[in-house]
Amino acid sequence: MTLANTLACAQQLDNDDPLAGYRDKFFHPVIDGEQVLYFTGNSLGLQPKAAKDYLQVELDDWATWGVEGHFHGRNPWVSYHELLTPASAELVGAQQSEVVCMNSLTTNLHLLFVSFYRPTKQRFKIISEAKMFPSDRYLLETQVKHHGFEPDEAIIEVSPREGEFTIREQDILAAINEHSDELALVFFGGVNYFTGQLFDMKALTAAAHNVGALAGFDLAHAVGNVPLKLHEWQVDFAAWCTYKYLNGSAGNVGGIFVHDKHGQDTSIPRFGGWWGHNKERRFLMENTFEPMSGAEGWQLSNVPIMGMAVLKSSLDIFQQAGIEALREKSVKLTAFLQLVFNDVVRKFDNIQLQIITPTTPEARGCQLSVKLIGTDKRFFNALTKAGVITDFREPDVVRLAPVPLYNSFEDVYQFGQRLTSLLEELHGEY
């Protein structure tokens, strides 16, 4: 059907949506007595209604069994993390041996860098995107310093061209070729947090390997957002958080991917901990670390059961819905948001709001980043007051994420109505 910024169009799209029922599996925030329009699942996903039940099972088993819950609970805690592996592997396109949930995102990346960033005097450089998430930039800075290199020399950041907001793939490939003899690692966010640009991870991995470097990715804004095929793409390693698109709850456990070509090589250097030790001998309390094969060999400590229970309530929903079906809806939903947004703002020539996310579905996930040209944070504050929960990033960008699991096409239409009213109110202020 032809898309139009009308309530009838939005309602028809919702009626035709086979995933529409998943919206009711989540709590939608009510602030100041009003259910808000929630477009910030790229920052914190909504709570699955089933989360409380999943958590209650583990609380009850803790009350009943105490420490024996590790072995006698309904979901024995000693192996609880294994319950999350099948769904996690499906989401990132991996074999189950290549994935494990553990720790948190930047902690996991540091642990992976121990193994996969092993610079030499000749090969020590890392190529990444400019304007990466600050935690990743701090990761790179401190890693290269740890190895005795200067960040300005070791970190090569590829930027958008002048007057552009996203990075051209040919510029990344050119940088890889330019620094080929000195390159140790290509490290990108799978989806850039600021612009929402989706990078071609397959192409970047191949380019890195062609010059003898490794390829790793921060998938915080990619996992649960776009289909991934990490094993097929030959990605060396990756890590992600679970509280954004995966709805795992604030600050919850992260996950890692290590390709089997590395994971089955237990001689690869790493930091050790007892949960990564041979699980058949884990409780013998031996002095010598014997890493498990696969991604599990990068684990350190026993796992946070309560957080994992909440995460499992969401991962079970993903397995029911399927990431390919979610992606199909996401493309339509984001396109509808783009249409509605452009239809509204073109009527207000004194306030310039520009989408800086790529306009083609292949180059983005379910996010539109809007640059507030000629305005300031007052616009974001007014949007929040109007009951539209988005995300502001300095100096002048609002990020909107229509999440296919729980956002509807009517949500998008209603956003357009509130945006229209807001711009009418602000018409004379700028």
Q: Does the residue 430 lie in any domain? A: no
191 and 239, same structural domain?
yes
On the question of pLDDT at 53 being above 90, the answer is yes
346 and 200, same structural domain?
no
Segment holding 341, helix H or strand E: helix 323-345
On the question of pLDDT at 428 being above 70, the answer is no
Q: Starting at the edge strand that comes first in sequence, how are the strands of the sheet with 237-240 ordered?
A: 99-102, 254-258, 237-240, 214-218, 183-189, 125-129, 155-158
On the question of pLDDT at 430 being above 60, the answer is no
**Confidence band of 174 (pLDDT split at 50, 70, 90):** very high
Average pLDDT, integer, range 362-385: 89
CB 144, CB 155: distance < 8 Å:
yes
CB 189, CB 172: distance < 8 Å:
no
Greatest CA separation found in the chain? 73
Minimum mean pLDDT among 84-93, 106-115, 331-340, 390-399: which range?
390-399
Residue with tokens 């209650």: 56
115 and 14, same structural domain?
no
Burial (Cβ within 10 Å: 0-12, 13-18, ≥19) of residue 13: buried
Average pLDDT, integer, range 121-144: 97
386 and 301, same structural domain?
no
Q: CATH code at 351? A: 3.90.1150.10
Q: Does the residue 2 lie in any domain? A: no
- Number of domains observed in the structure of the chain: 2
376 and 311, same structural domain?
no
Beta-carbon contacts of residue 312 (< 8 Å; ≥ 6 apart): 54, 83, 84
Amino acid, res. 253: V
Average pLDDT, integer, range 111-137: 97
Beta-carbon contacts of residue 298 (< 8 Å; ≥ 6 apart): 100, 102, 108, 111, 112, 115, 256, 258, 270, 276, 291
281 and 378, same structural domain?
no
On the question of pLDDT at 377 being above 90, the answer is no
Which of 259, 288, 320 finishes a domain? 320
Q: Does the residue 405 lie in any domain? A: yes
Q: CATH code at 206? A: 3.40.640.10
Q: Does the residue 98 lie in any domain? A: yes
pLDDT of residue 376: 73
180 and 252, same structural domain?
yes
Average pLDDT, integer, range 306-321: 98
pLDDT of residue 340: 97
386 and 310, same structural domain?
no
Q: Does the residue 68 lie in any domain? A: yes
Q: Does the residue 379 lie in any domain? A: yes
Which of 298, 320, 342 finishes a domain? 320
On the question of pLDDT at 168 being above 70, the answer is yes
Average pLDDT, integer, range 386-415: 96
Q: Mean pLDDT in the chain?
A: 96
Which of 320, 342, 367 finishes a domain? 320
- C-alpha to C-alpha distance for 387 and 415, rounded to whole angstroms: 9
**Confidence band of 425 (pLDDT split at 50, 70, 90):** confident
CB 363, CB 192: distance < 8 Å:
no
Q: Does the residue 169 lie in any domain? A: yes
Residue numbers of the domain that contains 396 = 7-47+322-424
42 and 154, same structural domain?
no
Q: Does the residue 74 lie in any domain? A: yes
Average pLDDT, integer, range 93-118: 98
On the question of pLDDT at 429 being above 60, the answer is no
On the question of pLDDT at 370 being above 70, the answer is yes
**Confidence band of 427 (pLDDT split at 50, 70, 90):** low
331 and 316, same structural domain?
no
**pLDDT tens-place string over residues 335-362:** 999 999 999 999 887 778 899 999 999 9
**pLDDT tens-place string over residues 187-199:** 999 999 999 999 9
pLDDT of residue 302: 95
343 and 309, same structural domain?
no
176 and 300, same structural domain?
yes
On the question of pLDDT at 172 being above 70, the answer is yes
